[in-house]
Amino acid sequence: MSRSQITRGARLTQDDVGRSTAASSAGAAREDDGCTILHVDMDAFYASCELRSRPELRGLPVIVGGDGSRGVVTAATYEARRYGIHSAMPMSRAKRLCPDLVVLPPDFGLYTEVSAGVMAVFRDITPLVEPLSLDEAFLDVAGAVRRLGPPAVIAEQIRARVHDEQGITCTVGVAATKFVAKLASTRAKPDGLLVVPPDRVIAFLHPLPVSQLWGVGEKTEEVLLRLGLRTVGDIAHTPVDTLVRALGPAAGHHLADLAWGRDPRRVEVPEGEKSVGHEETFPRDIDDPEVIRRELLRLSEKVAARLRAQGVAGRTVSIKVRFADFSTITRSRTLRSPTDVAREVYATARELYDALGLQRARLRLVGVRVEGLVDADEAPRQLLLDEPEVGWREAEQAVDRAAARFGRGSITPARLVAGPGRDDDDHGFGGQPVAPRPR
């Protein structure tokens, strides 16, 4: 199955997934190599949400919108679009175009709920999710490839899960850059998948009308058309100086870059979502610092394992402490370079805890969090400067592999199995791992 073709409707089966994984592990070049940016967009989102509970309306021209005299269309099924109906069109005009139109009032509570379910599917794949609206997001899946398969396979997993769990369809564009991924999903709609391999970006872009480029609104389009530039290819073959004179330096360089497929923008996770954390509420309040430290170690391990599973690393480690009276404090420290190593997360969490000097304060909850996440592939270069750290990272990756085979918990840092009484300076990772037992 060629993934440079638009795939519509049909989804890859488990067998296909197995075959593609086998092909990639055999070293065969895949079209989606390097295409780690996904743009996922729900099809006719509001209308699709409504049709979940109204299957009898499937296949009919349906729109969602305000039905008053000044109402506008907020979503239209593809059946309705065939009549020339589109979003933002006045309701009266839509009804003239299609007298049999089914008009449903909007239910934003429902759309918000379905959106949360869809975004949760994305965040299961990678924490590097940049939502653009309720029904649309960029994902960077570079860190998920080893775990889940090549980008096109991940894209099919997302399409299948959104369909099975949320009862709606979506389209995915797969490319090396954000704007090409977005153009690919636009091209493949509805219920489709399109991979644009890096060596086919120029052939994909150049025939497109200039209005398709990110940042080209009506005004810019007018200027470009006046210069005789109709396609993206026309822009590509115009001297940058000419573009700069007509549009100013920022827009001129921006369009020249896009026309050659250059888009350095990364997937940006909104502030407040760039973190992986775990916390534990104790069954009864705890005042023993040794028990607290052991809990911080356990949480650090969970956090680091999740960072590694998702292919990310983070620079800021924070702890949260809630006292018996529910007052809560957090403390954080930023490291020299991003980490996904439990030993380092724990060492920092423990320093932060010890610095609080809590003596025997009664705690009801502790938490560990790592923030400022980046793709782990960007972190190792820095980690390599620090040999011992690399050693720990490899050791913990070996534990990940064993855990994948035998179940997490089959290998435990020595500190946790040895119980209290071990040397405090040994951060709990010094012992030999307990031999894995198949379960």
Contact residues for Mg ion, defined by CB under 5 A: 41-42, 45, 135
Closer of 115 and 157 to Mg ion (Cβ): 115
Distances (CA, A) of 417 to 350, 402, 421, 422: 19, 17, 11, 10
Shortest reach from residue 259's CB to Mg ion, in Å: 26
337 within 8 A of 383, measured Cβ to Cβ: yes
Handedness of CA 140, 146, 148, 150 (dihedral sign): positive
Query: How many CA atoms lie within 13 Å of 69's alpha carbon, on the beta-carbon side?
Result: 0
119 within 8 A of 136, measured Cβ to Cβ: no
Shortest reach from residue 41's CB to Mg ion, in Å: 4
Alpha helical stretches, state H, 26-150: 45-52, 78-81, 91-97, 108-125, 145-148
Shortest reach from residue 207's CB to Mg ion, in Å: 24
| CA end-to-end distance (rounded Å), the chain | 38
Closer of 118 and 292 to Mg ion (Cβ): 118
Query: Pairing state of beta strands 136-140 and 129-133?
Result: antiparallel
User: Which residues have C-beta within 8 Å of that of residue 87, sequence separation ≥ 6?
Assistant: 72, 73, 74, 75, 76
Tell me which amino acid residue 144 is: A
Closer of 41 and 396 to Mg ion (Cβ): 41
Closer of 157 and 171 to Mg ion (Cβ): 171
Among 31, 79, 130, 136, the active-site one is 136
Residue 374 — φ and ψ, nearest 5°?
Answer: -135, 165
Token couple for 148: 């889940």
Shortest reach from residue 134's CB to Mg ion, in Å: 9
Query: How many CA atoms lie within 13 Å of 249's alpha carbon, on the beta-carbon side?
Result: 0
Shortest reach from residue 180's CB to Mg ion, in Å: 18
113 is catalytic: no
Closer of 131 and 314 to Mg ion (Cβ): 131
User: Which residues have C-beta within 8 Å of that of residue 405, sequence separation ≥ 6?
Assistant: 436, 438
Shortest reach from residue 160's CB to Mg ion, in Å: 18
Handedness of CA 179, 184, 185, 187 (dihedral sign): positive
Closer of 189 and 308 to Mg ion (Cβ): 189
104 within 8 A of 48, measured Cβ to Cβ: no
Token couple for 235: 């822009």
Closer of 42 and 183 to Mg ion (Cβ): 42
Question: What is the three-class DSSP state of 33?
Answer: coil
Shortest reach from residue 323's CB to Mg ion, in Å: 46
Residue positions annotated with a catalytic role: 136
